[in-house]
Amino acid sequence: MNGVEFVLGAGAAVLLLAVLAVRFSTRLGLPSLLVYLAIGLLIGESGLGIRFSDTPLTAALGIAGLVLILAEGGLTTRFSVIRPVLSWGIALSTVAVAANIAITGWALHLLLSLDWRTALLWGAVLSSTDAAAVFSVLRALKVPPQLAGALELESGINDAPVYIAVVLLAAGDPVRWWTPLLVGYELFAGAAVGVALGFAGSWALRRAALPSTGLYPLATIAVCVLAFAAGQGLHASGFLATYLAGLVLGNAHLPHRGDTLSFAEGLGWLAQIALFVLLGLYASPARLPGALIPALVAGAVLVVLARPLSVALALTPLRVAWREQAFLSWSGLRGAVPIVLALIALTRGFPGAQRLVDVVFVLVVLLTVVQGVTLPLVVRWLRLSRPEQGREMEVDSAALDEMDAELLQIRVPRPSRLHGVYLSELRLPTGAVVSLVVREGNGFTPRSTTRLQEGDQLLIVTTAGNRDRAEQRIRAVHRAGRLAQWRGETGA
């Protein structure tokens, strides 16, 4: 077997093992990232004997993986969920991050006798919550939407300021009067690049009749990755640009949106698996026992002191209840992001960065076990658990080339107030008509007397100009029934 065959075969075997391990970790109540790290350790130098110690390559691949994870997070986050908690997410991503860095750095300076720059670098590396861990764990919890939305928004945004802080501290340059202005420019410029490319990409994709359905997901992901490259090229925050581009695209009326989101979710899983296996492969088990005590000290500072105080400083002025603050404090999950950030410091030659990498690796495992396993208990103890709510209706669309029309494909979810509604009661706008209903695998042409049922699939043909109105009417009846207009439901 030559080198190419071995690499492809080993990669496929690891990927299949990781996919199967998801079910195993779910049954045990453990975040899947721990299983991926364990796979990397098993095939590494202390397991099967594969040695991998290329720090620059690991850091570069780590950044690439984070870009794909952030793109998937932005694409799959509904703006309707995060809109009510925008102020929470922004406060957690800015005020809480700054407070976390300062408090953690101060405590570690005293407890571990680190010099101030090293202590603040440790604080910066440990201050970022991980998008992959948050997206995979929180979406399985039955918590109020505003809490899940705030944490998703925080984990999508806070990588940007933390990355900037790590780069500045690792460079060893003195902090000057214009440093805060530089940070502000990088964040605002990155946000502008991401939003601009997101809107430009959604505009182009809505008007492009591509020859294959599979090209739309590829183009969407390409726009998100382009946002990262453009942001970094302008010396702005590429991470923030990636997440916001994905957020704009994911909430736009994209053709074949369902296929795009499914592709992005699969790509996100692939990035998570590859990233955590790579980090497990890179880690040196022989050095990890020596990092246990500093990791325990840093973890205690982070969980007991820094995270709760920083959340309180950020959210108390916004009048967030103490129960919600307690949940947000405990659910600040760490994952690959701190390890990648520590590797960036190592590639820049920061003294003692190798020790930081080892400490962060141990700390991520400890906190993931403790927080990931106990999070459902904390939700119940704080009485924040909510019964499972009805799913939002997903609408998939495809442009009809040269006809200025679109096809909308809709599946009536369970439960839905569309159930029992006569087709004539939908009152779709002029230019929109239900052309086909598929029920229990059988398709038929509906009449005005046809009553919709949960699980039905509808095919709606609409002119491009009435596409938004048709979708809003369907959503309104789904949420409020045939009297949606009288109840003030617009479907927006």
Amino acid in position 83: R
Average pLDDT in the 221-229 region? 95
d(CA 375, CA 377): 5
What residue ranges do the domains of the chain occupy?
A: 32-381, 395-480
Q: Contact 465/448 with Cβ under 8 angstroms?
A: no
Please write the tens of the pLDDT for every residue from 348-374.
Answer: 888 888 999 999 989 988 888 888 778
Average pLDDT for 289-294: 90
Helices then strands, each counted (H, E), the chain: 19, 5
Q: Any bridge partners for residue 422, and if so which?
A: 451
pLDDT in tens, 14-62: 778 777 776 666 665 566 777 788 888 888 777 777 777 788 888 888 8
CATH code reported for the domain at 395-480: 3.30.70.1450
CA distance 71 to 295: 30
Tokens of 344: 């960036």
Instruction: Write down the mean pLDDT value for the chain.
Output: 84
Tell me how crowded residue 370 is: count the other CB atoms within 10 A of its CB. 13
Region class of 491: left (phi > 0), else alpha (psi between -120 and 50), else beta:
left
Report residue 47 as tokens: 């397991």
CA 239 from chain centre, in angstroms, equals: 12
Residue 319 exposed, middle or buried by CB count within 10 Å (0-12, 13-18, 19+) = exposed
Kindly give the pairing relationship between strand 442-444 and strand 405-411: unpaired
Q: Tell me the whole-structure pTM to 2 decimals.
A: 0.80
Alpha helix locations (H) across 29-115?
Answer: 32-43, 55-76, 79-82, 86-111
CA distance 426 to 434: 10
Q: How far is CA 346 from CA 139, 353, 419, in A?
A: 33, 5, 58
Type of residue numbered 420: G
Q: How confident is the model at residue 480 (pLDDT cuts 50, 70, 90)?
A: confident
- Residue partners of 146: CB distance under 8 A and separation at least 6: 81, 84, 85, 88, 324
* Res. 81: pLDDT tops 70: yes
Residue 394 has pLDDT above 80, yes or no: no
User: Lowest-confidence range among 1-15, 106-120, 436-450?
Assistant: 1-15
Please, which pLDDT band fits residue 393 given cuts at 50, 70 and 90? low
Identify whether the C-beta of residue 221 lies closer than 8 Å to the C-beta of residue 71. Answer: yes
Name, in order, each residue with C-beta under 8 angstroms of 431's C-beta and a sequence gap of 6 or more.
Answer: 462, 463, 465, 466
What is the predicted pLDDT for the residue at 31? 66
Q: What is the mean pLDDT of residues 299-328?
A: 92
Q: Is 170 exposed, middle or buried (0-12, 13-18, 19+ CB in 10 A)?
A: buried
* CATH node for 32-381: 1.20.1530.20
For 469, counting Cβ atoms within 10 Å of its Cβ (0-12 exposed, 13-18 middle, 19+ buried), the class is middle
